[in-house]
Homo-oligomer: A and B are copies of this chain.
Amino acid sequence: MNFPRTPRSTVTYEPHLPTAPEPAPLDSDVHQRRFFIEDVFPTLDGGRFAVKRIVGEPVDVWVDIFRDGHEVTSATLRWRREGERGWRTAPLVPVENDRWHGTFVPIEIGRHIFVVEAWTAGFATWRRDTLAKQKAGLDITLELKEGRELVAAALPRAGDTAGRLQAALNMFGSAGGPRPLLAEDLAAAMAAVEPRPDLTWSQPFPLMIERPRARSGAWYEVFPRSQTDDAARHGTFDDVIARLPDVSAMGFDVLYFPPIHPIGVKNRKGKNNSLKAEPGDPGSPYAIGGAEGGHDAVHPELGTIADFRRLVAAARGHGLEIALDFATQCSPDHPWIKQHPEWFKWRPDGSMRYAENPPKKYEDITNPDFYCADRAALWQAWRDVVMFWAEQGVRIFRVDNPHTKPFPFWEWLIHEVQGRFPDTIFLSEAFTRPKVMKALAKLGFTQSYTYFTWRTGKDELSAYMAELTRHPEREYFRPNFFVNTPDILPVHLQSGEPWMFKSRVALAATLAGSYGVYNGFELLEHVPVPGKEEYLDSEKYEIRPRDWNAPGNIKAYIAQLNAIRRANPALQQTANFGFIQVDSPNVIGFVKESVAHDNVVAVAIALQKGPHDVWFHFGDMRIGPEGARRPVRAVENLVTGEWRLVEWGGVRLSIDPDHDPAVLLRCVA
């Protein structure tokens, strides 16, 4: 044979490395576990990470269960919320080819586990075989004696069922014939109380059960300090409260703020990210920490903690939930730098090691050393920061750049916070390599920023949606599609065309369960730093008052999209997604179906200027509940209210992007 040469290797001793588990010794109970329980769905990486589900929705479990031989198998699902002592039970039934199915409905949020359990159904096996022999005309006297023994053996532990078992024994004793022992209801009674030989169970599989907002919401991002009519006057929490009706009228669900903490003075950035701040420049809110405090303090010009709590309550009154930024960077003036110098890295000349991405430097911030000697205290301090804000009523955190902090830190932190506040949502702002983004979602992040912000072509949008909605991604990676961010003014928005802004927000609002808009988008703001995908005069470095009702704004368009989202559960999730055939490379077509299968919305969105006349073809698509799926018969235009019958498997659509690049159709079967 002709194999490629491989390098020689020497033998070394590596005592830290794990060795294969020893096979169970001959007398181990493991050998009594006679069943294979495998290919369990839904699971993630063999149970290492939790699959995500929404409270009140059924969890469908599928599993292969089988043992040797021909005995009848019984199996059940056990599940519970983490920390509960008792187990709930749901039935498992065989479907075909050793595949079993069961369903349960978690009624509380928080981490859950489920376990699959199987055992040999002794009495059912006996009954099946005895009936077969009876049918074949064989003598079953001995079999009946054996059946009697099975019933008698189950009697002592039969509890409430003992009467039924005893009755069968009495009847058999007096009448003698096979009927009392072969009765169907005796079989049911025996199944519930008889011993469970060969009892085998799976490992526990974790599930994270969350509130609906974890999967779906429309986000709106503002800098509180810009909520002012004068760049010279720092906006306050009260200014934000005054704006709530406007944000609420646009139909948003989440109002998200960049950091609201004191900002460092040393090395403060000036306008347009200049290295030197001019007097009066407010600095980047990401340069967290100053004389007034660190991550658990509020920038004094915004107001007080009490003001903030008032804002949280006021927002709630407008149907809005406040999301805060969690950014671990510290300004050179952060109190921890003096209080805990051991939490930071220092250079040979005694200077601070600033954040950098060589050759770029960020001298207004530093990150703590997550693996410093005093790691435990540092991690606890971070946890306490998040807990502090959770106590102020914040249960949504957008996490800045989590991919540059250790994975184990996030897994620990999120588990800690959700252990106390299980309704807490963490959004990962990781614009990085795909596997790193997915790893963060596996470790516990509820939602993730995505590449959507840059995906514009039909092919690339389609490929990305296919990736996000396939297995296993659909079980744990919940996208939040942002059309823009304070850091990203994507090139396709820079020409400021209204149809493009509408197309992008319609795509975001319909493709993903969660989506986001950074303010100014609705005003078609589009002036970049030349040659870059960044906003000129970025709000990150200055206070930016705006005319929120400037002519040409698309607030009504956004409000209409958000109203349709709220009315259609199909749009409040991402994973139940399929493509629709559209005979144009410039129009994307897709369909989404609610988790309960009671709402279906088909969408066509123009990706180029128009007009477009397209044939929107459902193909062999079926909609509706499992077992009763039917073709689409008619569609209702969710904007115009117009009804159309589906003919030849589709409908013709005329799209004029200047008017509205999107057509949203509710489908009925």
Contact = CB atoms under 8 A, between A and B. Distances in A.
A204 interface: yes
A597 B7 CA distance: 20
Interface string A11-34: 111101111100110110011111
A356 B88 CA distance: 38
Interface stretch (A404-412, A504-512, A635-643): A404-412
B349 A142 contact: yes
A306 interface: no
Report how many copies the assembly holds.
Answer: 2
Contacts of A88: 9-11
A16 B199 contact: yes
Contact of A90 (B6, B45, B203, B371): B6
B86 A30 contact: no
A436 interface: yes
Contacts of A19: 82, 113, 204
Contact of A433 (B26, B97, B104): B97
Given A24-B412, A408-B33, A412-B26, A3 B68 contact: no
Nearest to A380: B26
Contacts of A38: 45, 439
Interface residues of A, number: 115
Nearest to A205: B20
A103 interface: yes
A85 interface: yes
A58 interface: yes
A598 B20 contact: no
A87 interface: yes
A7 B32 CA distance: 31
A23 B66 CA distance: 32
Contact of A17 (B58, B87, B379, B404): B87
A329 to B, nearest CB: 14
Interface stretch (A132-140, A272-280, A313-321): A132-140
A439 B406 CA distance: 39
A102 to B, nearest CB: 9
25 contacts: A1-B596, A2-B598, A3-B105, A4-B58, A10-B89, A11-B80, A13-B86, A18-B204, A19-B82, A24-B412, A27-B376, A31-B408, A33-B408, A34-B408, A36-B407, A64-B435, A68-B404, A68-B405, A69-B405, A70-B357, A97-B435, A128-B358, A133-B358, A135-B359, A146-B348
Given A17-B117, A26-B412, A142-B349, 18 more contacts: A1-B595, A9-B90, A9-B104, A12-B86, A13-B86, A19-B82, A20-B204, A23-B415, A26-B376, A31-B409, A38-B45, A66-B435, A68-B403, A68-B404, A97-B435, A129-B358, A138-B359, A146-B347
Interface in A76-131: 78, 80, 82, 84-91, 97-98, 103-105, 111, 113, 115, 117, 128-130
A405 B34 CA distance: 10
A142 B409 CA distance: 30
